[in-house]
Amino acid sequence: MRQMEKAVFVKLRHRVQVKPDDVILVGDVAQIIASDKQMLQQLKRIPLYRIQRSDKNIVIVDVMKVVDAIVRFDPSLEIQTIGSAQTIVEVVYPKRTISFAYFLAVWLLLFIGSAIAIINFHEDVSMQETHQHLYTIITGKKADKPLLFQIPYSIGLGLGMIIFFNHVFRKRINEEPSPLEVEMFNYQQSLDQYVILHENKESMKQIDDR
Amino acid sequence: MTTVKAIAVIVIGLAGGLAVGTGFVAFLAVLGVIPRLTQLTKTMKWIYAYEWSAVFGAVTGGWMSLRSSALDISKYWLIPLGLFSGVFIGMLAAALTEVLNVWPILAKRIGMVDKIILLMMALVFGKVFGSLFYWMYFAEVMSL
């Protein structure tokens, strides 16, 4: 019974956003369960780390650091950690607003780029000949510019891309994410994995040859 | 001798078709267009029918283009055909940007994750515009 009262359960959050010059508290990065409510509040208020300018925008808080802080607070506590071993602390600097011109430039780049890409594709696969041939197959007549086929084709091209990225079928019956969302998630996951290993000074030990 | 020649031609034709057919299926499989369509329409149970439709489509298209056969039907059949083939190519194009991991990197690099839909629209409109431009103007100039 005595043992139970001293147990503290700690689970680190995956990703936390803070402002520059904030002090990270234990309660910011971890969810804590303890039977003593008053002690719980005190534990949550233990400072862990002050964000410095040199940290740039990512700080990794290791679970050992949290355990260390709690043990310092009260060595008799029995700490149980659950879940991931690091929290990614993202320092959010005041957002520099993206100028509209910058956005427009990217938009035009993509627009022109994809227009040229489709022209190249058509040229590459002799699409014109294929369409002329198809016109003959269907109607039995010849046409130099089978626009009757080609205009719906062009509209369908855009439609197909939109369908693939799921912006027509907005009403999702279940909560399946679109491929774009999955792709963004996977990429973020890889980035997180990278910074956890590379920004965390505790995760690697190297020979100090200085 | 002619029998041997005929058999040789058959074997070569079959082998060539086999290579192209497997390549086509592998291409479709990598881009994942069919799974995407079944996911959108919630028709997972008909996935085999979709496979067969791709196979029959490839065979029919191959046969008709090689035989230069003519159906002699109304030219207005070309409108739905054009639309469907456009959607298909559009999905392939979208899937290709997907496989090449264009979006996440682009959005992260330039810090416009919230505007990704607008950027995607740039690609879509670019494709439609480029395609129309090609058919109505570019191809004509090229053929002069």
Q: Which residue has the tokens 């059949």?
A: B77
ipTM for the complex shown: 0.79
pLDDT in tens, B93-108: 888 887 777 777 777 7
- Nearest-CA distance from B3 to chain A in Å? 33
Interface touch A148/B76, C-beta < 8 Å? yes
Interface touch B111/A98, C-beta < 8 Å? yes
Torsional sign, CA B117, B118, B124, B127: negative
Per-residue pLDDT of chain B (144 residues), as tens digits, is 788 999 999 999 999 999 999 999 888 888 888 888 887 787 888 888 988 999 999 998 888 888 877 888 888 888 999 999 999 999 998 888 877 777 777 777 777 777 777 888 888 899 999 999 988 887 677 666
- Please tell me the distance from the alpha carbon of residue A152 to that of residue B86, in angstroms, as a whole number: 7
Show residues of chain A in contact with B132, CB under 8 Å: 151, 154
**Amino acid of residue A21:** D
Domain boundaries, chain B: 73-144
Secondary structure element (H or E) that encloses residue B12, with its range: helix B2-31
Q: Which residue has the tokens 């990197």?
A: B105
Interface touch A152/B103, C-beta < 8 Å? no
pLDDT in tens, A71-113: 888 888 888 888 888 888 888 887 667 678 888 888 898 899 9
Give the three-state DSSP class for A48.
strand
Residues 6+ away with beta carbon under 8 Å from B141: none
- For chain B, the first-to-last Cα distance in angstroms comes to 48
Q: Does A156 touch chain B (CB under 8 A)?
A: yes
Tell me the percentage of chain A whose pLDDT exceeds 70: 86
- Residue among A192, A185, A184 nearest A58 (CA): A192
- For chain A, the first-to-last Cα distance in angstroms comes to 52
Q: Is residue B74 a contact partner of residue A139, using CB atoms and an 8 Å limit?
A: yes
Q: How many CB atoms lie within 10 A of CB B49?
A: 9
Q: Does A177 touch chain B (CB under 8 A)?
A: no
pLDDT in tens, A18-51: 888 888 888 888 888 888 888 888 888 888 888 8
- Please tell me the distance from the alpha carbon of residue A203 to that of residue A196, in angstroms, as a whole number: 8
Give the three-state DSSP class for A18.
strand
Candidates B85, B113, B139; nearest CB to A128:
B139
pLDDT in tens, A159-191: 888 888 765 555 454 566 777 777 778 888 888
All domains of chain A in start order, with CATH: 2-91 (2.60.480.10)
Could you tell me how many helices (H) and strands (E) chain A has, helices first? 8, 8
- Please tell me the distance from the alpha carbon of residue B135 to that of residue A121, in angstroms, as a whole number: 13
